[in-house]
Amino acid sequence: MSTNRLMFGFHAITSRVRQNPASVKEIFLDSSRRDPRARDLALLAENSGIKLISCDSSRLAGMAQGVRHQGVAASIDPTRSHIDVEDVLDTLAEPALLLVLDGIQDPHNLGACLRVSDAFGVHAVIAPKDRAVGLTATVFKVASGAADAVPYISVTNLARTLRGLKQRGISIVGATADVDSDLNTVELDGPIAWVLGAEGKGMRRLTRETCDRLVSIPMLGSVESLNVSVSAGICLFETRRQRSKG
């Protein structure tokens, strides 16, 4: 029985082909797309020896079952899965928007974070390999397809990865409740990686110290904290809102 999964979206599929072409079995591309992104992916698939299937949008919609597919799908062998953050960044045509999750161990929270990441056009979700839940069956179910649309990258050393992002000009912004600077007072322009920690514990000390800025979410009620996926959605929405104004 086949164990292949479907992946959707240009960023996720292009990154997978560049990093691990052996894991990509087939690519399904909307026959009506003639834009540069479609042409580039078709050429990449040809050069990588991957079968490219031209199909109509109704077939893609049936495959996606409500997931935003952007006119492209790929059949992926998950047992040969690996995506690198550098390769994701190399495929971008706009300033990077990344979500870094430090110590999220609840699969429902990770699945929800992947959903909001897909909703707000996050280019990749980054998390440590240790002390993190990873992509489990529950995560895939809660994410409702977003786990296949947004690249999820597990890294061995999170602080080192963040320093590498800085070297590529990406601003590291941590969300935490115990600082005065909040979303109403910060400019969120240029490439950004948002960093959020687990509920209760928050970011680990070294992760926090690696951030360029720390920002809080203004709260008017009696609760002291929000679910991490809610916090992620607020931070990502504000980033996109500021970018659209710019």
Note the pLDDT tens digit of each residue in 139-151: 877 887 777 778 8
Pairing, β 213-215 against β 171-175: parallel
Query: Residue 171: CB partners within 8 Å, gap ≥ 6?
Result: 190, 191, 192, 193, 212, 213
For residues 197 and 203, what is the distance between their CA atoms, to the nearest angstrom? 4
What does the pLDDT look like over 183-216, one tens digit per residue?
989 999 999 999 999 877 889 999 999 999 999 9
**Total-model pTM:** 0.76
Q: Which among 67, 65, 16, 66 has a CA at the least distance from the CA of 41? A: 16
pLDDT of 237 reads 97
What does the pLDDT look like over 205-246, one tens digit per residue?
999 999 999 999 998 887 777 899 999 999 999 999 999 986
CB 155 within 8 A of CB 126: yes
Average pLDDT, the chain: 89
Residue 65 buriedness (CB in 10 A; 0-12 / 13-18 / 19+) = exposed
- Two tokens at 147? 């786990």
Query: Residue 223: CB partners within 8 Å, gap ≥ 6?
Result: none
Averaged pLDDT, 159-187: 93
pLDDT of 81 reads 61
pLDDT of 79 reads 67
**3-state SS assignment for residue 206:** helix
Residue 36 buriedness (CB in 10 A; 0-12 / 13-18 / 19+) = exposed
Q: In what order do the strands lie in the sheet with 5-8?
A: 5-8, 72-76, 24-30, 51-55
The more confident residue out of 171 and 177 is 171
pLDDT of 203 reads 93
What does the pLDDT look like over 64-91, one tens digit per residue?
887 778 899 999 887 666 678 988 898 8
Checking if the pLDDT of 1 tops 60, the result is no
What does the pLDDT look like over 92-130, one tens digit per residue?
889 999 999 998 999 999 999 999 999 999 999 999 998
What does the pLDDT look like over 20-30, one tens digit per residue?
888 899 999 99
The more confident residue out of 147 and 166 is 166
Where residue 131 falls (left for φ over 0; alpha for ψ -120 to 50; beta otherwise) is left
